[in-house]
Amino acid sequence: MTLSVNKNVSNYVSEGAVRLIPAPEWTPTWHPVSHATLLDAVAEVMAKHGIGIINKHFSMNKSGTRLFAAYDLDLGDGKIGYCLGFRHGIDKSLKISFVGGTRVFVCDNLCLFGDFITTKMHSPTLDYGTLKYLVYQALRSALRVMREHHEWHLQLHNVYVPQPDFKQLVFDMVVKGVFAGSQINNYLSCLEEEKKIYHGTSLDRTTSLYAVHGAATRLMRPWNLLRTAETTPKLKVICDDYIAARAA
């Protein structure tokens, strides 16, 4: 699924700001819930199933009608944590949709990946009970995706990237829209930070695919959540293609 990044989406807003946005009036066929109602449903489902929320992150457009949220969960291995992303529109632009994610705690890098799952329109049948069941279904699906991505992420440590291959990977990331060519120097700075964390020195002549991937997600840290959710799946495809090419 391709997302459309709205340049008017702010990087981060508070939960209080999100909860202040009222739902618009219903029509005979369109019964939107407020952002606050969705947040309450997510919190209730998490609590019922014993899943804690460590941190919450929110991005909205300027009018507040479109929301993207990412909740860091108390799941994972202490190094890589699981994250539930969801989006919501009260201007008829977005369905209620959820996506899985991971966060690398040591560098606070977030990765939201895959197609949005368990989507729902604001129909007259969307009462609070239905909304909570929707969240439950989404959580079940997202947890499976999170576990799969966790294992995928760990394997990147064992894939080492020679310098000629690294240059090609950077070229691919620019061409395929992970980041702009004007950001290459910023990306290289992010890579040096990743290599210091995982290799102990910034002077290594080779690096792992884990660091290549991590540098890109480090570059995305200031981006709004909607843009991050659009970009990280592109990054995963590039890494998958490289692994497949090495294995061929």
> What residue spans define the domains of the chain?
15-147, 155-247
Residue 204: per-residue pLDDT: 52
Residue 66, SS3 per DSSP = strand
pLDDT tens profile 70-125: 999 998 887 888 999 999 999 888 888 999 888 887 777 888 876 677 676 777 78
Does the pTM surpass 0.75? The reply is yes
**CATH annotation of 15-147:** 3.90.1150
- What percent of the chain is modeled with pLDDT above 70? 91
SS3 category, 133: helix
pLDDT of residue 14: 94
